[in-house]
């Protein structure tokens, strides 16, 4: 079976997969989703989805990846189910869509690093102008996509993951320090309450499907990124313990990000539903209060490390379509990388323009039954994150349980974990992929599409 060129199993799978999982999803998206969706109640639902539904899907993806050593499309074929490679293709399309807007936001983070270096703390209040300075943020996006493509083409992800092992703990330390600092500010407690004391009256169906989309997005699930990365897992490694580590790291970092943000938001008297601008508007002012020198140091470090966290995620997003066209269409890796990166950058241009610059893309579409239009970037997010990823998770678990067959999944996971079948986790995963994931995810997918795009709310 083909092993993708440029990658060796020398660097740890956990580092690569955690690098993919931890990114803008945790630090940028999670806090603003919490803010827009009523606070602690959203956090609870999100946690339940991560552990109960996403974890079994993660184990399944990794097992399929290790078994086949292939991209998502090739993996289903290699297992003998050609028609199911359509599911792989759906994953690849999700990856392309996600990277197209993710790269735009990564460009903002990188731009903010440069602003912090020059001590421009006022950028927080100029966020709106900043993201509409199209040529500048477009250039940052281009640089970001270029860096991603360079890393994927050279197959130097191993080095990146090694660096991440030092840089990510540094980011966590900075965030923890900011948590402590934020607690000393006036009104901090109100923020903690909003974040941790659930108000169940705020739960509506959109809160539920946003939490589901966020869980899949944050854990890099439902599109085959972890099938692709599964080939890095050693044959005798324990898939379960790796998946536990990845999940805990990802959820833990998101949790800290929220704990950092809400006291800051409340102490500055800002609104919790600041949307995608939340961290970009809130944080520079906080860095400013640290004084010019410390502010510049902490501010630039924060956005540099955030860009780095984003880079280990964009690498995994680009790797999926690249592995597909290299394996399945025999295009040389180097050409494949630059071609795919260029296409995705172009697909991302409407997202770049959809934050006020172009009226067409800012007010791109009005869903049936909605009062106001949705931007191109949000449309892509709604389709890819909130709809395609959970659908992918539903179908992957159905595939593993009934098409590939459970015995084969159990046999693969048991390598490196001989007691898996009879363990509590083994029994839970069996139940989850046979019933819980396919049924619950399938129902939620249908209800999400009906509610979001057609305004038909069967529940809530």
Q: Which residues bind ligand PHE (CB under 6 A)?
A: 20-21, 23-26, 98, 217-218, 220, 223, 225, 313, 316-317
What's the closest the beta carbon of residue 354 comes to ligand PHE, in angstroms? 19
What's the closest the beta carbon of residue 439 comes to ligand PHE, in angstroms? 23
Measured at CB, which residue is nearest to ligand PHE? 25
Closest to 384 (Cα-Cα) out of 128, 151, 213, 161: 213
3-state SS class at 374: strand
Closest to 249 (Cα-Cα) out of 417, 19, 425, 57: 19
What's the CA gap between 259 and 184, in Å, rounded?
13
Residue 374 backbone phi and psi in degrees, to 5: -115, 145
251/286 with CB nearer ligand PHE: 251
What's the closest the beta carbon of residue 308 comes to ligand PHE, in angstroms? 12
What's the closest the beta carbon of residue 220 comes to ligand PHE, in angstroms? 4
21/447 with CB nearer ligand PHE: 21
What's the closest the beta carbon of residue 246 comes to ligand PHE, in angstroms? 10
Q: Which helix (H) or strand (E) holds 309?
A: helix 292-329
What's the CA gap between 389 and 118, in Å, rounded?
39
192/225 with CB nearer ligand PHE: 225
Yes or no: say if 452 and 382 are a contact pair by the CB < 8 Å rule.
yes
List the alpha helices (DSSP H) in 156-220: 157-183, 188-196, 205-218
24/337 with CB nearer ligand PHE: 24
92/179 with CB nearer ligand PHE: 92
What's the closest the beta carbon of residue 101 comes to ligand PHE, in angstroms? 11
108/420 with CB nearer ligand PHE: 108
Yes or no: say if 156 and 134 are a contact pair by the CB < 8 Å rule.
no
Residue 365 backbone phi and psi in degrees, to 5: -150, 145
């Amino acid at each position: 079976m083909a092993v993708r060129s440029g990658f060796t199993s020398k660097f740890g799978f956990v580092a690569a997969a955690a690098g993919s999982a931890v990114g803008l999803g945790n630090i940028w998206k999670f806090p603003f989703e919490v803010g827009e969706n009523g606070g602690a109640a959203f956090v609870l639902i999100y946690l339940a989805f991560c552990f109960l539904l996403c974890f079994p899907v993660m184990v399944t993806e990794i097992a399929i990846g290790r078994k086949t050593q292939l991209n998502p499309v090739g993996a289903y074929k290699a297992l003998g189910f050609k028609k199911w490679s359509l599911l792989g293709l759906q994953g690849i399309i999700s990856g392309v869509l996600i990277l197209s807007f993710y790269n735009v936001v990564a460009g903002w983070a990188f731009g903010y690093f440069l602003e912090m270096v020059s001590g421009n703390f006022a950028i927080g209040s100029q966020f709106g102008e900043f993201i509409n300075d199209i040529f500048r943020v477009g250039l940052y996006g281009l640089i970001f996509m270029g860096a991603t493509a360079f890393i994927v083409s050279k197959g130097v992800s191993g080095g990146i993951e090694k660096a991440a092992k030092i840089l990510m703990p540094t980011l966590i330390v900075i965030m923890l320090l900011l948590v402590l600092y934020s607690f000393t500010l006036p009104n901090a407690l109100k923020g903690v309450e909003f974040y941790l004391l659930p108000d169940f009256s705020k739960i509506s169906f959109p809160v539920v499907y946003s939490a589901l989309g966020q869980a899949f997005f944050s854990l890099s699930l439902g599109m085959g990124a972890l099938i692709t990365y599964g080939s890095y897992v050693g044959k005798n490694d324990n898939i379960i313990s790796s998946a536990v580590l990845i999940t805990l790291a990802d959820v833990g970092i998101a949790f800290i990000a929220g704990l950092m943000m809400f006291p800051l938001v409340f102490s500055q008297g800002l609104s919790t539903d600041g949307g995608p601008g939340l961290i970009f508007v809130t944080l520079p002012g906080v860095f400013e209060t640290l004084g010019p020198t410390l502010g510049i140091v902490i501010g630039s470090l924060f956005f540099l490390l955030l860009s780095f966290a984003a880079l280990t995620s964009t690498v995994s997003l680009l790797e999926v379509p690249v592995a597909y066209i290299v394996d399945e269409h025999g295009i040389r890796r180097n050409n494949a990388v630059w071609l795919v990166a260029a296409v995705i950058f172009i697909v991302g241009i409407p997202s770049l323009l959809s934050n006020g610059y172009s009226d067409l893309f800012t007010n791109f579409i009005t869903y049936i039954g909605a009062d106001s239009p949705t931007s191109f970037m949000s449309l892509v997010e709604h389709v890819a994150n909130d709809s395609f990823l959970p659908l992918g998770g539903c179908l992957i678990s159905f595939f593993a349980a009934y098409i590939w067959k459970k015995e084969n999944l159990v046999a693969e996971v048991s390598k490196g974990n001989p007691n898996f079948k009879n363990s509590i986790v083994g029994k839970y995963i069996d139940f989850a992929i046979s019933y819980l994931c396919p049924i619950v995810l399938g129902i939620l997918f249908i209800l999400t599409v009906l509610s979001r795009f057609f305004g038909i709310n069967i529940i809530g």
